[in-house]
Amino acid sequence: QVQLVESGGGSVQPGGSLTLSCTASTYINNLAMGWFRQTPGKEREGVAVIDRTDRISVADAVLGRFRPYKDNLKKTLYLQMNNLKPDDTAMYYCAAVRRDDPPFRLLGDPDVFDNWGQGTQVTVAS
């Protein structure tokens, strides 16, 4: 089991930027890790996934604006979010799994992930 702790959420105006962090209790070299988000009444949706070889898959809704990256030595996954929009308002969750599926497949299947953080809220409003 891997403990994951997110941070970096907050309130920002449209067009602004935030960087989320997710620190793991173990080294993340052999893990696929992802960012998912959820709003009340909606299903959890994939935002970005990065696998252990640094292959990346990003959701169409955030393509060109969001970028996942990680620092294996710091056991930390990041999500750089630029040009934020009100539709990006959600609870953002970090997840990890020890699998080698292609990132695009993991992005669309949050149930595959067996380790989750508690979430960090991102609010985009004027």
Tens digit of each residue's pLDDT, the chain (126 residues): 999 999 999 999 999 999 999 999 999 999 999 999 999 999 999 999 999 999 999 999 999 999 999 999 999 999 999 999 999 999 999 999 999 999 999 999 999 999 999 999 999 999
Cα–Cα distances in Å, from 62 out to 31, 46, 88, 98?
23, 10, 9, 25
Amino acid at 87: D
The burial of 1, by beta-carbon neighbours within 10 Å (0-12 exposed, 13-18 middle, 19 or more buried), is given as exposed
Q: Are 48 and 56 in contact (CB under 8 A)?
A: yes
3-state secondary structure of 72: coil
The rounded distance, in Å, linking the Cα atoms of 71 and 77 is 6
The reported pLDDT for the residue numbered 26 is 96
- How does pLDDT run across 42-52, given as a tens digit for each residue? 999 999 999 99
